[in-house]
Amino acid sequence: MAAVPSSSVGTSITSFVKQPESIDPSTFSSSSLTRTLSKPEQDSLLSGLNNTLRRCREGDYVSNLFWIQNPKEIPIDPNVHNMYVQIALIECLKGRLSEEEVATACLFRQFCKQLVFEPDTVRTYKNGKTKIKQTNVVKVPRVPGSDNIVARYTSDSTTLDENIRFIKSVFSLTDLGCRVFLEKLKEEPARKKVFYIFPLPLGDVYSWSPLYYSMNQIWPFFKPVNLSGERKRIQLDPPSRVFVLPSFTMIRIAFQQIYRDAVKPVPVLGRISTRRIEEFKRRDERVINLGFPSRVFDKSLESPLFADGNYTGPGVFSLHDFYHYFRWCEVPRNERKALLRIMDCLQDLQKTKSASEDIKTLKRLNWVLVDGELHFSGDPFGRIFNLSGIPWPDDIKRYVITDMVLEAALWENEFQLTRENLLPREQAIYDQIQESISPHLGAAAGGGGGGEIPSAPKESSDSDSGKNPT
């Protein structure tokens, strides 16, 4: 691969290493990476970053951070990568790197950790493939040596055609779509146009990440690439299947090209609450959790290793967030607004419930909508009441449909949804509610004092509350 001119790689941090300067604490509140942390957590992280800053030796860390100048010199020492992502965050908080560039460094470290750094380990998890509640013991294969990792620069003319092949595979783009994508990427700095090629373990993909296996049955992105006869040409030995990890910026641009109404992916460090995920969604954003090698008090900022009841590993956990991002992008903008309205209904209804089982069911349904585990893109919107294996008790369903009746103008004008978008069973409920409300509306219009319009009818339900989301 041709070397990338240092001027295109980015600003060196040599100057600030020679003259250390403390990090402004106020930047933690303005960066999406850190603003979801509490103030004490931000202070704890700040202290750790300042310690890293004091330990840094003089050097051009930013150029090496993305390995586009010396892709054959990627170290296999996880401590080096831990330090580099900490330096990347420091540079971001000082305004010299973007949040997306930090996200790329974190994603690269996470997949190195999952596929390269960690020794052979015994993992136990529930068998998500067959849904049988038993514990399997799986040996996670290790891919030895950093020679097996390749860093690529998308605009390197010597490998452009080959690079196009990898980009097409990652995002399922046509030849034309790939060239449009590269044109959109053209003005970005080199460090935002890098992608990484990891050899995959020779065993079944299910063995090293059951959730990656499950996602690949559903979405068309990030599938393993079979190199067949090209293995020797890009010096990957011995595996013939690879995983391609694009930069965070490349992922964002590709999804915005594929989905007209794509929301913005926002990188955040550490775990994030349901409430926070919802807050971002209401701003047309979807958070992407990134692992970070720090602890704040007794809390690790590393990514969880499990999601949806399956073992993920550190890299695939963030990929799983991109999966939910993809699910939300698939939903048309008007229907996303309607789903937010339904969340409001569920949260309002929680305030009126006293039974713990009712509240638990409402919270589960709300989580399905917040997390975006939605599989009805292109289907009638009314399928919302039949999603994700969690039954909607009749009283909860009627409460939402009552809102559709009482606020019909809002649903039709703002969400472009009416009775006709419901399935027959829910249409019948809609008609019953409308019929019960019509006399009140008529009396009110005629000044006859027909009384208050009834609220959503409440009916008891013995429905199974379903699986608890993770």
pLDDT in tens, 390-435: 678 889 999 999 999 999 999 999 999 999 999 899 999 999 999 9
pLDDT of residue 250: 94
Residue at 238 is within a domain = yes
**Residue 49 pLDDT more than 60?**
yes
Average pLDDT over residues 259-266: 92
Number of structural domains, the chain?
A: 2
Residue 439's pLDDT band, with cuts at 50, 70 and 90, is: low
The verdict on 240 and 203 lying in the same domain is yes
Three-class secondary structure of residue 205 per DSSP: helix
The verdict on 108 and 196 lying in the same domain is yes
The residue that leads in pLDDT, 133 or 126, is 126
**Residue 247 pLDDT more than 60?**
yes
Question: 174 — alpha (psi -120 to 50), left (phi > 0) or beta?
Answer: beta
324, 214 in Cβ contact below 8 A? Answer: no
Largest CA distance in the chain: 85
Q: Which domain holds residue 421?
A: 333-445
Residue at 61 is within a domain = yes
Average pLDDT over residues 170-185: 87
The verdict on 247 and 166 lying in the same domain is yes
Average pLDDT over residues 153-179: 77
| Residue 264, both tokens | 């913005």
C-alpha–C-alpha distance, residues 461 and 369, integer Å: 21
C-alpha–C-alpha distance, residues 366 and 9, integer Å: 44
Residue 105's pLDDT band, with cuts at 50, 70 and 90, is: very high
- Residue ending a domain, choose from 272, 298, 330: 330
% residues pLDDT > 90 (the chain): 27
The verdict on 310 and 347 lying in the same domain is no
Q: Report long-range pairs for 232-237 (Cβ below 8 Å, ≥24 apart).
A: 234/150, 234/162, 234/197, 235/147, 235/150, 236/148, 236/150, 236/197, 236/199, 237/147, 237/148
Residue at 465 is within a domain = no
The verdict on 294 and 415 lying in the same domain is no
The verdict on 289 and 359 lying in the same domain is no
Q: What is the pTM of this model?
A: 0.81
pLDDT of residue 125: 44
The verdict on 57 and 86 lying in the same domain is yes
- Residue ending a domain, choose from 299, 330, 361: 330
Across 171-180, 202-211, 238-247, which has the greatest mean pLDDT?
171-180
Residue at 370 is within a domain = yes
DSSP of 33-93: TTTTS-HHHHHHHHHHHHHHHHHPPSS-HHHHHTTSS-GGG----HHHHHHHHHHHHHHHH
The verdict on 133 and 191 lying in the same domain is yes
Residue at 1 is within a domain = no
Residue at 462 is within a domain = no
The verdict on 26 and 123 lying in the same domain is yes
**Residue 442 pLDDT more than 60?**
no
- The pair phi, psi for residue 354, each rounded to 5°, is -115, -30
The verdict on 189 and 320 lying in the same domain is yes
Average pLDDT over residues 382-394: 76
- Residue ending a domain, choose from 270, 305, 330: 330
- In 292-394, the DSSP E strands lie at 295-296, 299-300, 306-307, 310-311
pLDDT of residue 224: 82
**Residue 249 pLDDT more than 90?**
yes
241, 222 in Cβ contact below 8 A? Answer: no
